[in-house]
Amino acid sequence: MLGQQLFNGVLLGATFALVALGFNLVVGAMDRLNFALGETAMVSAVVGAVLMETGLPFAVAFLAAIATGGLLAVIVYVASFRYVSDRFPTASILSSLGMGLVLTAVVVKVFGSDQRSVPDVLAGVDLDLGLFRVSGAQLVIIVLAALMTVGLYVFLDRTVWGTAIRGVSDDPTMVALLGVPVQRVILLTFTLSGVLAGAAGLLTGLAYHSVSPFDGFTSTLTALMVIVLGGLGSVTGGVIAALVIGVLQTLTVAYLSATLRDLIVFVLVGIVLLVRPQGLFGRNAGVLERV
């Protein structure tokens, strides 16, 4: 029982981690928050769900979802970040919140405001690993989320463009002087964050078997709590914090009460903000500067 709950929590946390990583990438690149990222995830999930309903295989729907996510993130970048003066630190937040409103409203106009069910994948699969059982959908979620997280690590750590992203995050002026095309790196960062959000959207939809146009807001909220807990801009901290929150929520629902699920996370985040505002794992200099 406990093993199963822990696994479910990790599963939930893995989807949180993807959106939170998207947020942290943008914070690194521009010191700005993209508040439309949750809605980006929601739109991608709706697109994925619609494609799956028409009978297309999950792989196609997943690719379409991450493509949608990347594209939307670029649109949000152009609308809310590229041409917004950096003399007004909150302007991009307001603008991206506005984009979030627009995305939600457009989805409601086009697809209606009802919940949309997400078809199951690998319905016949049911692995029994002793401590816990894994359904086909859960297997897909955990494998894809892990692949994307590890892929992001390898990309940031080993490739030229990944190094450039980390460089821009540390000191944009310096890397610009070294000849790094900062604007293109930022564009790449936004695309990556959208891809992660798109994947998270569809995988979350798969976990709950449904997606609603108003999910975007919840994703943004969860991601914000994850990045406060893990430290603003800290990639590793974000992943660990996401898993902590996922497990905590699942255990609360299983052993205490479903109504306490969000409250416990709020309390945890409040304590962290009071005691350790740089986040549990925010030890690198870049994060400290942002507190």
Partner 1 sequence: MSPYAEAVLLQVGINVLLALGYWIAVSTGKYSFGHAAFMAIGAYAASMLTLNFAWPLPVAMLVAAVVAAVAGAVIGWMALRLSLLYLAIITFIFGQLVELLFAQWDYVGGATGMIGMTGTTLTLVYSSIAVVVVYLVLLTRSRLGLAYAAIREDERAATASGLRITRIAVGAFAASAAVTGVAGALAAHQLMIITPSLFGPQQALLIILYCVLGGVQYFWGAAVGAIVLSVLPIWFEWLNDWYMIVYGLLFVVLMIVRPQGLIGRSERSGGGPLLRRLRRDGAVAVEREREPVG
Query: Roughly what angle, to the nearest 10 degrees, separates helices 160-170 and 136-158?
Result: 80
Under rule CB under 8 A, which residues in 91-130 are in contact with partner 1? 91-95, 97-102, 104-106, 109
Q: Which structure tokens are listed for 242?
A: 């996401």
Terminal-to-terminal C-alpha distance of the chain: 40
Using DSSP's 3-state secondary structure scheme, residue 117 falls into: strand
The single residue listed with the structure tokens 């999950």 is: 58
Position 227 contacts partner 1 (CB under 8 A): yes
Question: Which of 186, 158, 182, 202 minimizes the C-alpha distance to 67?
Answer: 202
Region from 62-70, 140-148, 169-177, 257-265 binding partner 1, contact rule CB under 8 A: 257-265
Position 259 contacts partner 1 (CB under 8 A): yes
Region from 29-37, 46-54, 176-184, 244-252 binding partner 1, contact rule CB under 8 A: 29-37
Pairing of strands 116-117, 126-128: unpaired
- How many residues line the site for partner 1 (CB under 8 A)? 48
- Under 8 Å between Cβ of 174 and 15: no
Which of 106, 125 has the CB closer to partner 1? 106
Question: Least distance in Å: CB of 16 to partner 1?
Answer: 15
Region from 2-10, 26-34, 147-155, 239-247 binding partner 1, contact rule CB under 8 A: 26-34
Which of 125, 258 has the CB closer to partner 1? 258
Region from 32-40, 153-161, 177-185, 244-252 binding partner 1, contact rule CB under 8 A: 32-40
Options 4, 5, 6, 31; binder of partner 1; rule CB under 8 A: 31
Position 33 contacts partner 1 (CB under 8 A): yes
| Amino acid in the structure at residue 246 | G
Region from 25-33, 56-64, 130-138, 177-185 binding partner 1, contact rule CB under 8 A: 25-33
* DSSP category for residue 134: E
Query: Roughly what angle, to the nearest 10 degrees, separates helices 182-208 and 136-158?
Result: 170
Q: Which structure tokens are listed for 184?
A: 């293109």
Options 225, 243, 245, 253; binder of partner 1; rule CB under 8 A: 225
Under rule CB under 8 A, which residues in 72-91 are in contact with partner 1? 79-80, 83-85, 87-91
CA distance 98 to 217: 12
Position 151 contacts partner 1 (CB under 8 A): no
| Amino acid in the structure at residue 287 | V
Percentages (nearest 5) of helix, strand, coil residues in the chain: 75, 5, 20
Residues forming contacts to partner 1 in the complex (CB under 8 A) are 27, 31-33, 35, 79-80, 83-85, 87-95, 97-102, 104-106, 109, 217, 220-221, 224-225, 227-228, 232, 259, 262-263, 266, 269-270, 273-274, 277, 290-291
